[in-house]
């Protein structure tokens, strides 16, 4: 389909993306990479400038690496040592009374620790930087048009199409655009959802949060402690500091303020100085923001030709840094499905696996973010009991210290470190061919590497013919990958033949052996990917294992790959009862 | 559930009943009244029953007050009809009202019944009950979808018995006159011969209507029985609408004085009556 006006004067594209935040931009990037024509509309003039959403999980970093975004961000963001976990203070001047650290040694140790599981590592980068980087990558595709200053003001469905009216926020001129699908990535207050959404479930609201950006000489105190977030326990100054912005040099202080009118500057200054325990520190307030966080989950993530992703489908408190990350996972899950359905290679039913897979993760996400917020409140409130006189002295009792250090350890696992949340996602749907193996129960803190169908295909280091080191992660997308250790030649042929007949790219990758594409750098690849000799993993374009195959002959290999591909693409009904495959959500 | 008022009448409905009987032609109306309308709208936008429209009583279920009228006089029928048509209501639409209090929903119910609609219900327990039974909610604004073949909407005033202020001035002595406001308001001044029965006693802190026997006992205590001639009023025809609703559920007819105390107190002569014929229970 071309992006050209039809006779009614409306532009036609394959997919309309509503919203140009990280989720919408990722959606546009991924669809554009597959040649799908995309029109993205964002009402803001450009990508974000808000000082929030800085946590890039390893799972997101892996996509960024695939998309060339990781490299663009190389010199962006906070150094590891300047964004290391969370500190807890009565006031900053008196030093931390408890801490959660992501790493105790230098940056190199941090990278090494993560290398066990990922070619990348969790990072802190301003949203303004990574949004601009994704935008840059998305704009390289000829089939993608990114339209800022463009607000969607009307959305309707007709058989075969979804129609929107887009208003230019500057000129107020309106355009009609039609597409075969629309992906709503327009945030927690989604306009598309308010028009077409089929109902939601709500959780607690965390309202009236004030965020102040300020300039002050804190390098030798807050800066030296090196936490990314520093929480103030003193009830009079309860709130948190964010570490110094790597570009602007501004510090952040956030607190709750239950009035519509912002506090006067002298009150803000007194509060910051009190929280710092530095009554005479010169401070320049630069900018004050107000945020409200509500909690909710959309019931149906698909309404006909409209699909919901990111905050439009699930929204929650920022504790854990789940918002942008889970939204980009949504985009990565949905993009290849839309592409294959648009190309006619997969049945429409493939789109239904999007909700089955991602809503299950979103349920865990909204619960965890809510729990993290309330859990910290519970720790702080409990800690404060009986400590009034100590707080007045800028300290807490030894008992309070012990209580705090014991309570914040699990809190750190759920809200900061959560390797299991980042890498241990397990999907169950008709686009996963179960083989009787059971994946480890998903857990927030711990991640257990497996190749059970439905999990993220694990990372292992490989070396190419030129001696260049790469990760298995770098091989995934935009097509399917059939990967195995010392794979038999006939898998290559089966993949080639089926790529042609199914109209889906399946690349066979042989690691190790005589006709290897790559050499394993160490024993990890064979340990993880070749537990059983001859096993081949079929990895979906999103990097998740669709199926595990094994065959003794050329014919068997072809038939086996043909069978699982037809199942994954929704061309054949699974023999397994549906109730078993996709839990009712 | 025989102890619930909804078992006695079709005017009160339980959330689970609604969830078990989907109806494409059902409209939820969230009824609001608070002192600051912007806050009411904001609160509605933060979360309401999926598909519910927002109705500010002053704008939808009342006309602007005049110097002589009460605070919330009845709306012009044509204004009401136009509003309902914007929501794509027809005479068969099942209307379900709820709000922060049962009384707000009851005012909407009374006005719609007065305007001749018959398929009108109040949701027992409101939003909380809906959520607790697994009902879907939504944020933001709601724009009800237009129907493919819209039916005409015909309204006719007079579907509920009411009483004018003139009649109120010469009320026969045997009429059971109930003041539905809270006790403090009642003690500060009331219409002669009124007995106080605060509407707020009829719902629980969770905003569910109290049981049939509890409510019956309340009415028994003021002599409001099936054979009595009953008139109910409050400050502006909101709290009293709830009592008309619960009386109706018990099979006891009553008339609503829509103008209520806010109309009564506009006239010095009537206020003099109130002062001289004061009865305190």
In this predicted model, what pLDDT tens digit does every residue of A134-175 receive, in sequence order? 999 999 999 999 999 999 999 999 999 999 999 999 999 999
Domains of chain B: 5-138 (3.40.250.10), 165-280 (3.40.250.10)
- The per-residue b/e assignment along B218-255, b for 16 or more CB within 10 angstroms, e otherwise, is bbeebebeeebebbbbbbbbbbbbbbbbbbbbbebebb
Residues of A in contact with B138 (CB under 8 A): 193-194, 197, 199-200
pLDDT tens column, A556-582: 999 999 999 999 999 987 555 444 444
Among candidates B51, B131, B136 on the partner chain, residue whose Cβ is nearest the Cβ of A299: B136
Q: Which strands make up the sheet holding B195-196, listed edge to edge? A: B195-196, B176-179, B230-233, B255-256
Structure tokens at A155: 């959305």
Decide if B197 touches A, using CB distance below 8 A.
Answer: no
Among candidates A193, A198, A202 on the partner chain, residue whose Cβ is nearest the Cβ of B47: A202
Angle, CA A240 vertex, CA A234 and CA A244 arms, to 5° = 135
Q: How far is A291 from chain B (nearest CA, A)?
A: 14
- pLDDT for residue B224: 96
Cβ distance of A200 and B136 shorter than 8 Å: yes
Decide if B137 touches A, using CB distance below 8 A.
Answer: yes
Helix (H) or strand (E) holding A98: strand A96-100
Among candidates B46, B135, B138 on the partner chain, residue whose Cβ is nearest the Cβ of A197: B138
Q: How far is B137 from chain A (nearest CA, A)?
A: 5
- pLDDT for residue A6: 47
- pLDDT for residue A581: 42
pTM for this entry:
0.91
- pLDDT for residue A81: 87
CB A92 within 8 A of CB A277: yes
CB A184 within 8 A of CB A193: yes
* Rounded Cα gap, residues A498 and A246, in angstroms: 50
Phi, psi of A57 (to 5 degrees): -70, 160
- pLDDT for residue A585: 39
Reported ipTM:
0.82
- pLDDT for residue A574: 57
Q: What is the largest CA-CA distance in chain B?
A: 61
Which residues of chain A are modeled with pLDDT < 70? 1-9, 574-585
Decide if B19 touches A, using CB distance below 8 A.
Answer: no
Cβ distance of A195 and B143 shorter than 8 Å: yes
pLDDT tens column, B235-275: 999 999 999 999 999 999 999 999 999 999 999 999 998 98
Decide if A195 touches B, using CB distance below 8 A.
Answer: yes
| C-beta atoms surrounding A571 within 10 Å | 14
pLDDT tens column, A185-208: 999 999 999 999 999 999 999 989
pLDDT, mean over chain A: 94
Residues of A in contact with B43 (CB under 8 A): none
pLDDT tens column, B97-128: 999 999 999 999 999 999 999 999 999 999 99
Among candidates A199, A205, A294 on the partner chain, residue whose Cβ is nearest the Cβ of B50: A199
- pLDDT for residue B275: 82
pLDDT tens column, A370-393: 999 999 999 999 999 999 999 999
- pLDDT for residue A402: 97
Residues of B in contact with A296 (CB under 8 A): 137, 139
Q: How far is B135 from chain A (nearest CA, A)?
A: 8
**What residue of A is the nearest CA neighbor of B52?**
A199
- pLDDT for residue A582: 43
Which residues of chain B are modeled with pLDDT < 70? 277-281
Residues of B in contact with A193 (CB under 8 A): 138-140
CB A562 within 8 A of CB A433: no
- pLDDT for residue B279: 54
Angle, CA A48 vertex, CA A47 and CA A49 arms, to 5° = 125
CB A370 within 8 A of CB A295: yes
Among candidates B137, B141, B143 on the partner chain, residue whose Cβ is nearest the Cβ of A199: B137
């Amino acid at each position: 389909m071309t992006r050209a006006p039809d006779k009614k004067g409306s532009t036609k594209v394959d997919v309309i993306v509503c919203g140009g935040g990280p989720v919408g931009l990722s959606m546009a990037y991924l669809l554009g990479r597959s040649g799908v024509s995309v029109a993205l509309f964002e009402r803001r003039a450009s990508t974000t400038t808000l000082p929030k959403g800085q946590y890039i999980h390893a799972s997101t970093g892996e996509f960024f690496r695939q998309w060339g975004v990781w490299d663009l961000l190389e010199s962006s963001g906070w150094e590891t040592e300047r964004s290391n976990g969370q500190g807890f203070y009565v006031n900053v001047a008196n030093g931390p009374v408890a801490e959660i650290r992501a790493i105790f040694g230098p940056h190199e140790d941090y990278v090494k620790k993560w290398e066990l599981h990922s070619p990348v590592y969790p990072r802190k980068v301003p949203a303004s930087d990574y949004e601009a980087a994704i935008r840059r990558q998305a704009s390289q595709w000829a089939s993608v048009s990114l339209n800022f200053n463009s607000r969607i003001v009307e959305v309707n469905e007709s058989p075969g199409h979804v129609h929107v009216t887009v208003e230019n926020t500057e000129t107020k001129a309106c355009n009609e655009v039609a597409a075969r699908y629309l992906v709503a990535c327009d945030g927690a207050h989604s306009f598309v959802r308010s028009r077409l959404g089929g109902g939601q479930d709500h959780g607690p609201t965390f309202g009236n949060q004030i965020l102040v950006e300020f300039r002050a000489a804190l390098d030798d105190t807050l800066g030296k402690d090196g936490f990314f977030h520093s929480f103030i326990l003193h009830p009079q100054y309860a709130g948190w500091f964010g570490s110094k912005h790597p570009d602007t040099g501004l510090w952040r202080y956030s607190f709750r303020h239950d009035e519509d009118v912002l506090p006067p500057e002298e009150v803000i200054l007194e509060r910051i100085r009190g929280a710092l325990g530095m009554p005479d520190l010169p401070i320049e307030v630069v900018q004050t923001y107000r945020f409200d966080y509500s909690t909710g989950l959309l019931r149906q993530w698909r309404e006909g030709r409209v699909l919901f992703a990111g905050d439009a489908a699930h929204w929650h408190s920022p504790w854990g840094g789940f918002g942008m990350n889970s939204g980009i996972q949504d985009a990565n899950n949905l993009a290849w499905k839309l592409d294959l359905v648009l190309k006619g290679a997969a049945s429409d039913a493939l789109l239904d696996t999007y909700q089955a897979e991602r809503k299950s993760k979103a349920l865990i996400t909204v619960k965890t973010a809510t729990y993290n917020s309330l859990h910290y409140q519970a720790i702080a409130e409990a800690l404060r009991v009986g400590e009034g006189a100590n707080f007045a002295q800028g300290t807490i009792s030894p008992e309070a210290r012990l209580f705090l250090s014991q309570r914040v350890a699990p809190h750190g696992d759920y809200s900061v470190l959560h390797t299991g949340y980042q890498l241990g996602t397990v999907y169950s749907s008709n686009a996963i061919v179960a083989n009787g193996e059971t994946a480890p129960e998903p857990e927030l803190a711990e991640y257990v590497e497996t190749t059970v169908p439905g999990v993220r295909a694990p990372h292992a280091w490989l070396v190419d013919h030129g001696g260049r080191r790469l990760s298995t992660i770098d091989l995934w997308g935009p097509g399917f990958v059939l990967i195995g250790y010392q794979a038999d030649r006939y898998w290559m042929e089966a993949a080639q033949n089926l790529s042609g007949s199914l109209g889906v790219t399946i690349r066979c990758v042989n690691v190790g052996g005589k006709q290897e594409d790559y050499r394993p750098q160490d024993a990890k690849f064979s340990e993880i990917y070749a537990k059983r000799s001859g096993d081949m993993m079929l990895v979906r374009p999103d990097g998740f294992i669709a199926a595990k195959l094994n065959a003794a002959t050329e014919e068997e290999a072809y038939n086996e790959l043909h069978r699982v591909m037809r199942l994954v693409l929704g061309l054949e009904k699974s023999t397994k009862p549906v109730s078993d495959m996709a839990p009712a959500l | 559930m025989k102890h619930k008022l909804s078992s006695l009448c079709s005017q009160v409905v339980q959330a689970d009943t609604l969830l078990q009987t989907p109806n494409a032609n059902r409209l939820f109306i969230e009824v609001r009244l608070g002192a600051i309308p912007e806050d009411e709208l904001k609160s509605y936008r933060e979360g309401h029953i999926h598909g519910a429209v927002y109705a500010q009583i002053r704008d939808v279920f009342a006309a602007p007050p005049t110097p002589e009228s009460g605070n919330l006089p009845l709306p012009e029928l044509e204004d009401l009809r136009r509003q309902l048509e914007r929501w794509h209501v027809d005479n068969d639409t099942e209307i379900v009202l709820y709000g922060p209090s049962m009384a707000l929903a009851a005012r909407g119910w009374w006005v719609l019944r007065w305007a001749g609609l018959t398929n009108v219900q109040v949701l027992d327990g409101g939003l909380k009950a809906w959520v607790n039974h697994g009902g879907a909610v939504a944020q933001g604004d709601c724009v009800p979808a237009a129907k493919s073949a819209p039916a005409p909407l015909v309204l006719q005033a007079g579907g509920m018995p009411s009483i004018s202020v003139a009649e109120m001035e010469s009320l026969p002595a045997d009429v059971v006159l109930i003041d539905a406001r809270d006790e403090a308001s009642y003690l500060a001044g009331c219409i002669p011969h009124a007995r106080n029965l605060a509407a707020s006693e009829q719902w629980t802190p969770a905003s569910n209507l109290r049981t049939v026997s509890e409510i019956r006992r309340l009415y028994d205590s003021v002599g409001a029985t099936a054979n009595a001639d009953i008139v109910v009023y409050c400050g502006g025809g909101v709290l009293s609408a709830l009592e008309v609703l619960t009386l109706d559920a018990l099979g006891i007819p009553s008339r609503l004085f829509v103008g209520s105390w806010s109309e009564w107190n506009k006239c010095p002569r009537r206020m003099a009556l109130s002062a001289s014929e004061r009865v305190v229970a």
